[in-house]
């Protein structure tokens, strides 16, 4: 067992305050934290109040946990995430995912803001991730294996659970939301990619690009959680539009929050 990682401390603190164990967990990415702000009777807490919990530094990530109920299912909503480019260690980046596992989460819905590499994708599109390419040059499981969570060599053949993607498609049909599908590639950031890099990534089979999600998915699957990932396309990737700014990402995600929130609630109702 890996010691001194603060997970047990955070777990104990939360379990003293959260009466019902969550079945479904969520990660709301850049600018998407408000998509589930309207949940009724939510127990809300700041990451900074939880012993041992690392805090985010990037605009658009609230750094809060919500415990609530959707369609009779107990949910744990992570508003914001941690990124490797912030200077965080891998242990810090994946800390919230492992904490969700310890709290009882079995199914995890991850969202992110992504650039569209596929030329048919437009800002505002919602896309379920079918697979990923880890372009970070590293792996969050590197180092001693923590036997509390999984085996030394986890299989990622089915990293993105097909049953959950089918549920998302049904939810989209019910709401009239057109969901695309695509392969997500993670780069390290914080700089955006160059046009040459985007052309190379397109050749490798990537449809979406971002600076997160992949380490969370690897960690979740290592812990035998089932994963659904949804990307909000916030811009066309480098070389496909004049310039890339974080402000544009925030503007597009803000306009998508309501649709994404409704979609997530419908997905959970169908689980």
Catalytic residue among 68, 74, 112, 235: 235
d(CA 41, CA 38): 9
* Side-chain half-sphere CA neighbours of 61 within 13 A: 22
Catalytic residue among 85, 134, 250, 269: 85
Catalytic residue among 26, 76, 103, 113: 113
d(CA 87, CA 74): 33
Catalytic residue among 10, 33, 35, 61: 61
d(CA 13, CA 51): 7
Catalytic residue among 212, 222, 238, 266: 212
6 assigned to active site:
no
Closest by Cα among 4, 14, 230 to 105? 14
85 assigned to active site:
yes
Catalytic residue among 26, 114, 206, 211: 211
Catalytic residue among 246, 250, 255, 262: 246
192 assigned to active site:
no
Catalytic residue among 11, 86, 92, 216: 86
162 assigned to active site:
no
134 assigned to active site:
no
d(CA 37, CA 23): 19
Residues contacting 71, CB < 8 A, separation 6+:
265, 268, 269
255 assigned to active site:
no
Catalytic residue among 10, 30, 231, 257: 30
> Could you list the active site residues?
30, 61, 83, 85-86, 113, 211-212, 235, 246
């Amino acid at each position: 067992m890996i010691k001194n990682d603060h997970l047990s401390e955070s777990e104990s603190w939360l379990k003293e305050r959260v009466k019902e164990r969550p079945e479904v967990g969520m990660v709301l990415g850049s600018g998407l934290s408000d998509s589930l702000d309207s949940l009724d009777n939510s127990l809300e807490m700041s990451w900074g109040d939880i012993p041992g919990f690392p805090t985010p530094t990037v605009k658009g990530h609230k750094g809060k946990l919500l415990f609530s109920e959707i369609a009779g299912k107990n949910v744990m909503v992570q508003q914001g995430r941690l990124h490797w480019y912030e200077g965080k260690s891998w242990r810090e980046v994946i800390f919230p995912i492992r904490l969700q596992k310890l709290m009882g989460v079995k199914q995890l819905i991850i969202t992110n803001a992504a650039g569209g590499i596929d030329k048919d994708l437009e800002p505002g599109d919602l896309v379920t991730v079918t697979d990923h390419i880890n372009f970070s040059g590293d792996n969050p499981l590197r180092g001693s294996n923590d036997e509390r969570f999984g085996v030394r060599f986890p299989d990622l053949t089915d990293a993105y659970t097909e049953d959950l993607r089918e549920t998302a498609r049904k939810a989209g049909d019910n709401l009239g939301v057109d969901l695309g599908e695509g392969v997500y590639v993670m780069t390290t950031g914080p700089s955006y990619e160059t046009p040459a890099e985007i052309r190379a990534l397109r050749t490798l089979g990537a449809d979406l690009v971002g600076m997160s999600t992949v380490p969370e998915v690897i960690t979740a699957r290592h812990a035998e959680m089932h994963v659904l990932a949804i990307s909000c396309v916030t811009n066309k990737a480098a070389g496909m539009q004049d310039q890339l700014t974080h402000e544009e990402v925030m503007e597009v995600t803000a306009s998508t929050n309501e649709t994404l929130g409704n979609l997530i609630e419908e997905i959970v109702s169908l689980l």
